[in-house]
Structure 1
């Protein structure tokens, strides 16, 4: 009697006859197809070279060898596997199954999984998309077990709510587990991930998120440690812009980042990266990390996101002149100021006088793509003034006509000049020089690499400051 083993490995196929409006590869082993109906299809490229039945037979032979030869170590089986299917076996036995390719795709920034429903993803370019991948309740329970075990977290019906960092890919995982909390009707997992290669300020200019003049203004602002708050709704690109801005900080500056999930990527060698710890026995809070930051004598303190009462601690940090940069959930700078100064946050309004620059993210959909634009507001002498505003009809962002001069029109730049021993005229000249450098570097980089994958954020910082120093500004 022959032994027949049914493979427990799931393959990812590209349906025949499907139309793709966008296609690209992931890690050289997966292909991605975006359809006109806004579906995201990721598939094993090997299936374009070999038939599914042939691959299934290869796996059956491997599984049969386990029994006939007594090999119990899965790793040994995979080492003997056909190279064409090795990665499929690795994701099945050591990874996160069919969810692993989604995590590997640098364009996917959020994966939302509800048991028994098609997985939904958020794409950097195309926004929210449906997939054809569905996980049953038992499959999703197994995925949660793998994710939580690596993170050292215990999830069960007794402790059904959890949020933690998965260490392999540094993704933020939030889980609502099967329990009485969900009326025992399935479970939900959300995986929030950041790209391995953050977009540079040049990429944001190319995507029309920022104009060259806005980029130059933000460069000047972070160089002179003027606090910046980036506001917007969820998935509006706040962290992407924050990372690009922070990589305009002078090279070799001492920076400490404080986050609940590690999302920001910086290039300086003197970067102290910290995360909060939610533990009943030994909690590590934003306040305790801010206190350490002050003792470390860092140049910049970056709080990845302000949500609640920790905003009061963050406000104290900006009063000490540490060039704080943070993100905040609000639909506008006006809403942000209102939330910050009213319960339960209740930041002293006097402390917010030092918060001088807001960046407002404006996400919208155009055709099949997700677009983002950024406006810049100045908070000066307790007045909120739009500086660079977006016109959706013309799709352009321009300097507010009522602002005669972005530098000399605002009182806080006088404070900056006194603190750094520089005149307003010199600040204005440096700003003009930065605008010229940004435009020149963008044009040169675009001509060499239309996708602007180079220079990366680390190389760009060195290039910009080298040109700035050559122009006589230090």
Structure 2
């Protein structure tokens, strides 16, 4: 039995009160709250803290959030509240003279908006581009949230995030904040974990209930993949995966040390079916493998985005991971899970088939998970279409074994003859297995090595990709790099 059950309303404001913390900068959340992200290094690893930058934090701690929720439930709109901000003073302790009411009410509205429309105190982390993953486990024995984050620059470990409960400290608080009780369970208070599940369900329009106690969806505003589990499958636990803010391309990966220019260029040309990197001039499928979090989907997306802009690509995904560069021909197709309410599932296999029937020259799949996924993607890349996908495996032998277990007959022959297998570890390409129908011994032409190097130095200049292919238009038109040595370019085509 836990002796303490904190409610969601105990975590409105972050004031760590810990000296000698290091700052990682500030985040302004969509609600308008500025929060400083802090950390401290300890022998067992980092610990993260949050500090809301407020002029009146003592009043924000006492903000009666249940009262505001009642107002909104009774017909008050955000528009009216923002036009008449002093209405929110009724949800605050009595304010003495000398307090800047305009500043106080604007801060209170921002804190309320963050709680009601976003994810309360963890919103700054979820809005932070350096975040990779954030998980909320079952509460600890002290009733406080168990939050862990995986952050760029701090290794692949999950480090604790300290979310401290707060209490109203003002002596003249007057109206004491009340607990908002749930509709079921005998009026038990809403815990922080249950609140996060509810917010994620609302924002992604993916209800998690006793009837459907699991859900996976995308929060588009904050670029998150959200995985939710509730009772009876588990306690209220949530995992957030942060999607990149900018589209990946091979230049960005080169800049980060994930791949070198030569390998990147040859993968690009072989997968497009350019001789001699593809011996027969057919597009070579690329299958990226490695452990979880090794950068497989990132490489898949980067290859797709570095293709010529006039080549049609279709991305198939079960979560919103692909960000496609603008000004190119593409489609993104998303699967749909069955809700049990009459809406049947739409699978990757079906969408891959759709892609091949709707003009896709290359099919990109964010991950192969099922026999249907595997068969459909292999069928696509061995029937004239190209494409890239990824699969969880630790070695080439394990990759072949997994393909066979997924129903791919002759997987060993497929990989040794047709498919380029790329192994990733710790966000780096560590091995490339070229099949018999690919050849990476020929040096990369200078037009590609030069542009890819320049792109790695200027990763936000997407025009470099278009200019690269304009300079080497003949490579796609002829299917060979030999035209470059003949001086053929777009200007003479």
Summarize deviations over 1:79-105 as a string: whole Å, max 9, x none. 527444543221112112123222211
**How much does 1:275 deviate?**
1.3
Instruction: Describe the shift of the 1:459–1:23 C-alpha distance in structure 2 as closer, same or farther (beyond 3 A).
Output: farther
Matching residue of 2:336: 277
Instruction: Describe the shift of the 1:62–1:276 C-alpha distance in structure 2 as closer, same or farther (beyond 3 A).
Output: closer
Q: Answer yes or no: is 1:412 the counterpart of 2:412.
A: no
Structure 2: which 5+ runs fail to align?
1-8, 86-103, 140-144, 166-188, 274-282, 475-483
Matching residue of 2:432: 377
Deviates more, 1:205-214 or 1:297-306: 205-214
Summarize deviations over 1:168-208 as a string: whole Å, max 9, x none. 445322222122x44xxx32111223122234433322322
1:334 aligned to which of 393, 397, 407:
397
8 Å CA contact 2:247–2:324 kept in 1: the answer is: no
Count of aligned positions: 397
CA distance in 1, matches of 2:389, 2:162: 36
8 Å CA contact 2:251–2:456 kept in 1: the answer is: yes
Q: How does 1:392-471 map to 2 (within 5 A)?
A: 411-413=437-439, 428=442, 431-443=445-457, 445=458, 454-455=460-461, 458-468=462-472
CA distance in 1, matches of 2:190, 2:294: 31
Structure 1: which 5+ runs fail to align?
1-6, 364-371, 382-410, 414-423, 446-451
Q: Tell me, what secondary structure is at the counterpart of 2:366? A: strand
Instruction: Describe the shift of the 1:188–1:212 C-alpha distance in structure 2 as closer, same or farther (beyond 3 A).
Output: same
CA distance in 1, matches of 2:222, 2:312: 25
Q: Answer yes or no: is 1:221 the counterpart of 2:270.
A: yes
1:296 aligned to which of 340, 355, 358:
358
8 Å CA contact 2:117–2:199 kept in 1: the answer is: no
Matching residue of 1:368: none
Q: Tell me, what secondary structure is at the counterpart of 2:196? A: helix
Question: As a proportion of its length, which structure holds more strand?
Answer: 1
Instruction: Describe the shift of the 1:82–1:304 C-alpha distance in structure 2 as closer, same or farther (beyond 3 A).
Output: same
TM-score by length of 2: 0.71
Deviation beyond 6 Å, 4+ runs, structure 1: 60-64, 134-137
**How much does 1:113 deviate?**
0.6
1:124 aligned to which of 144, 152, 162:
152
Matching residue of 1:115: 138
Instruction: Describe the shift of the 1:33–1:191 C-alpha distance in structure 2 as closer, same or farther (beyond 3 A).
Output: same
Q: Tell me, what secondary structure is at the counterpart of 1:277? A: coil
How well do the aligned residues superpose, as a CA RMSD in angstroms? 3.3
Matching residue of 1:15: 17
Summarize deviations over 1:366-397 as a string: whole Å, max 9, x none. xxxxxx3212322423xxxxxxxxxxxxxxxx
Q: Answer yes or no: is 1:89 the counterpart of 2:103.
A: no
2:250 aligned to which of 201, 205, 226:
201
CA distance in 1, matches of 2:106, 2:212: 41
CA distance in 2, matches of 1:190, 1:203: 27
**How much does 1:255 deviate?**
1.3
Summarize deviations over 1:298-329 as a string: whole Å, max 9, x none. 11111110012020111100012221111111
**How much does 1:17 deviate?**
1.9
8 Å CA contact 2:313–2:330 kept in 1: the answer is: yes
Q: Tell me, what secondary structure is at the counterpart of 2:118? A: coil
8 Å CA contact 1:357–1:376 kept in 2: the answer is: no
8 Å CA contact 2:312–2:360 kept in 1: the answer is: yes
